[in-house]
Amino acid sequence: MEATVHKFLPLATAIVLCGATGMAFAHNCPNEMKAIDAKLSTNPKLSTEDAAKVSKLRADGEAYHKAGKHDESMKSLLEAKKILGI
C-alpha cells in the first residue's frame, strides 16, 4: 500500500501545483495592466493604428478581468504588451 502512495505522490503534487499556477495566472491581470500603463506613460513610438489597438486591448482586458473572464483578459493584455514590445 505504501509503495502505491509513493507512486502517485509526484502526480498529486504536480496536479496541485498546476492548479495553483493557473489561479496565480488568472489573478495577474492587474499586474499586466500596470505594465501596459507604465509603458504607455513613456509615450512609446506607435502608429496611430497601434496606439488605438493597444488602448482598446487594455480596456477590453480590464473589462474581462472585472467580469471574471481572466483567460480573455490575459489574452487581450498580452496582445497589447506584444504590440508595445514588453
Burial grade of 17 (CB within 10 A; 0-12, 13-18, 19 or more): exposed
From 35, 41, 40, select the one nearest 51 (Cα to Cα): 40
pTM over 0.95: no
pLDDT in the model for residue 50: 98
The total domain count for the chain is: 1
pLDDT digits (tens, 9 = 90+) for 48-82: 999 999 999 999 999 999 999 999 999 999 999 99
Which cell numbers hold the place of 53?
Answer: 489597438
Q: Which domain holds residue 73?
A: 2-84
